[in-house]
């Protein structure tokens, strides 16, 4: 049975509406396909619940595009189809001659949103020129797009959250944070999932093999007056600049105002 139960229920409804032959039902079929896609994306959230920001888990962030961006950053393999197979080795170290497929799962990526979800969105709204949508065009489009969602019916595996992970506590608020070891190699920065905190930590490998540590990402503001170092938490700087934060030098108490500015960087 497909692991995408809710998504497939909406897809079945889309099929029934399409088969009814009623012109108005075509619009509702488009809506059911969009629901189906939303369930495919929301079904990923529990698999990454330790790693996603709290506002995704609590439902404040709901746009599928935002969710898949965050998940793809955590685990780029989410976009690839995968299959688990096992087989008996004829002898130790000798590849099995026969493999049994235990299950498969289809990759989920932004192309599903671009190719299907957004294209159907056009038909859920009245046209700005106030002309009706062309029903034959919509029917053709539904029949063309259905297979992109239908392919998920054969998925029998879930459990993308399996990976080697590092666990540590946010230095600013103490919330537990999980980081995949593989991701640390691609992107050493990890943001606290607590939406009221957002502290940015930097992953640092130590001289001891297999041992790493995390430190708060900070910016050094050297005092122009006395030359002292003032280490400021990077995650507080943007909001501080928006609010015109005043910073006092820790040694001579010289006052600094935090400001944003525009800078052009030459790319080539």
Smallest distance, Å, CB 177 to Zn ion? Answer: 8
Does residue 124 belong to the site contacting Zn ion (CB under 5 A)?
no
Using CB under 5 A, pick the residue from 36, 106, 179, 194 that binds Zn ion. Answer: 194
Smallest distance, Å, CB 185 to Zn ion? Answer: 23
Does residue 249 belong to the site contacting Zn ion (CB under 5 A)?
yes
Q: Mask 154-193, x = binds Zn ion (CB under 5 A)?
A: ----------------x-xx-x----------------x-
Give, to the nearest 10 degrees, the angle between helix 5-19 and helix 135-150: 150
Q: Which two tokens stand for residue 215?
A: 């430190």
Using CB under 5 A, pick the residue from 219, 225, 259, 260 that binds Zn ion. Answer: 225
Q: What's the 3-state SS for 207-236?
A: CCCCCEEEEECEEEEECCCCCCEEEEEHHH
**Residue 176: HSE in the Cβ half-sphere, 13 Å Cα cutoff:** 7
Nearer to Zn ion, 43 or 240 (CB): 240
Q: Which two tokens stand for residue 230?
A: 């003032």
Smallest distance, Å, CB 212 to Zn ion? Answer: 18
Does residue 246 belong to the site contacting Zn ion (CB under 5 A)?
no
Other C-beta atoms lying within 10 Å of the C-beta of residue 78: 19
Q: Name residues whose C-beta falls within 8 Å of residue 117's C-beta, 6 or more positions apart in sequence.
A: 34, 37, 64
Which residues contribute to the site for Zn ion (CB under 5 A)?
A: 170, 172-173, 175, 192, 194, 197, 199, 223, 225-226, 228, 249, 251-252, 254
């Amino acid at each position: 049975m497909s692991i995408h139960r809710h998504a497939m229920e909406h897809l079945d409804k889309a099929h029934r509406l399409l088969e009814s032959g009623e012109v108005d039902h075509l619009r509702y079929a488009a809506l059911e396909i969009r629901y189906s896609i939303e369930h495919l994306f929301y079904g990923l959230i529990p698999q990454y619940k330790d790693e996603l920001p709290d506002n995704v888990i609590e439902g404040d962030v709901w746009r599928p595009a935002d969710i898949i961006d965050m998940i793809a950053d955590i685990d780029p393999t989410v976009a690839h189809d995968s299959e688990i197979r096992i087989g008996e080795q004829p002898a130790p170290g000798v590849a099995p001659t026969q493999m049994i497929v235990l299950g498969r799962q289809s990759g989920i990526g932004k192309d599903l949103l671009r190719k299907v979800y957004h294209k159907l969105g056009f038909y859920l709204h009245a046209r700005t020129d106030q002309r009706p949508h062309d029903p034959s065009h919509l029917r053709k489009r539904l029949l063309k797009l259905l297979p992109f969602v239908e392919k998920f019916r054969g998925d029998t595996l879930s459990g993308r959250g399996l990976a080697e992970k590092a666990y540590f506590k946010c230095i600013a608020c103490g919330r537990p944070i999980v980081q995949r070891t593989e991701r640390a190699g691609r992107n050493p920065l990890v943001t606290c999932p607590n939406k009221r905190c957002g502290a940015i930590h930097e992953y640092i490998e130590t001289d001891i093999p297999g041992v790493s540590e995390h430190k708060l990402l900070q910016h050094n503001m050297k005092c122009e007056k006395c030359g002292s170092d003032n280490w400021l938490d990077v995650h507080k700087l943007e909001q501080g600049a928006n609010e015109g934060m005043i910073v006092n030098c820790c040694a001579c108490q010289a006052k600094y105002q935090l400001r944003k500015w525009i800078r052009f960087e030459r790319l080539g």
